[in-house]
Structure 1
């Protein structure tokens, strides 16, 4: 299983105001591999990750998953986002009226788990991240770090094949950030997922199999 990015180009605006953001991106990530995207602000990292997740379309180029186009219709893109792809954003984006357990079980039920299976998986994931005691509280009762840990476990709830993370540890202290990245990497390796993460925290680079550096819309180091 592999994810191939072939000559991805993306511009915003038209005519004289057109701004190229990605200028031909090429790389491949294999199953069980954890890759970090790094680069200065404006280098195109988040745009690339958003395209990989099917939330934004490229102007040209292809994304192949096991040799086939990853997104060839909006319906397929929606199904993939639910069943195959786990997103972790910089902001937790928790649903304010759902308790912590329900943040996860809702995803599990939508992905086809029974109520019992969803509850058991949610409790196991939250225990792993040190939040078993927060199962029945609402997001406003959590610290920023706790919210982000819930969001990370929510992304793993549907047992995705691809994990995409945009600065997932930005709101965590150094110790907790390390714990979270170790756990994400362990999940990627044990479940043979494909993991791609944006981070500026060079202390976390050692946990990656590769670091891909972008500058001004091109890869300058891999």
Structure 2
């Protein structure tokens, strides 16, 4: 099983205002591999991750997962995001009226878990990341770092095959950022997931199996 990105191109605008953001992106990530995507602001990292998550469509090129197109009429993006892809955004995007445990259990039940199993899994994940004492509080009672940790665990709730993370440690201190990245890598390796994370923090590069660098919409190092 692998994720193959083949000649992905993406532009915004039209005519004289057209800007090509991605220019023939090619790479492959194998199962159990944790890869960091880096590059200067405006190099196309978030656009690429958003395309891989099915939230944006490329102009041309293919995304192949397990020898089949990742997104097709048979594989709808919304279903894949629920059942196959865990997406961690730079902001936590927690639901303000749901308590911490419920932020995860709603994902579990939507993905087919029983309420009991969803609660058990949510509690295990939250305890792993040091939030076992915050299960029954609302998002407004959490610090920025705590919110992001909830969002990270929410992405693992459906046992995804692909994990995509856009600067997930930006709001965390150095120690917590290291713990989070180690945990993401551990999950990816233990469960043979495919992991791709955007970060500018070079201190975290050591945890990656590979670092892919983008510059002006092109891969300059992989």
TM-score greater than 0.5 by the shorter chain: yes
For residues 40 and 148 of structure 1, the distance between their equivalents in structure 2, rounded to whole angstroms, comes to: 23
For residues 48 and 56 of structure 2, the distance between their equivalents in structure 1, rounded to whole angstroms, comes to: 9
**1:3-55 deviation digits (Å, cap 9, x = unpaired):** 00000000001111110000100000000000000000000000000000000
Cα RMSD after superposing both structures: 0.8
Matched, 1:88 2:84: no
Unaligned 5+ runs, structure 1: none
Q: What is the DSSP-based 3-state SS (H/G/I as helix, E as strand, rest coil) of the residue aligned with 1:10?
A: strand
Q: Give the alignment's TM-score, normalised by structure 1.
A: 0.99
Match of 2:187 in 1: 187
Match of 1:153 in 2: 153
Matches within 5 A, 1:1-222: 1-73=1-73, 76-222=76-222
Q: What is the DSSP-based 3-state SS (H/G/I as helix, E as strand, rest coil) of the residue aligned with 1:56?
A: coil
For residues 167 and 59 of structure 1, the distance between their equivalents in structure 2, rounded to whole angstroms, comes to: 25
Q: What is the DSSP-based 3-state SS (H/G/I as helix, E as strand, rest coil) of the residue aligned with 1:150?
A: helix
Unaligned 5+ runs, structure 2: none
Q: How many residues align?
A: 222
Q: How far off is 1:73 after superposition?
A: 3.1
For residues 30 and 74 of structure 2, the distance between their equivalents in structure 1, rounded to whole angstroms, comes to: 25
Q: What is the DSSP-based 3-state SS (H/G/I as helix, E as strand, rest coil) of the residue aligned with 2:146?
A: helix
Q: Which runs of 4+ in 1 moved over 6 A?
A: none
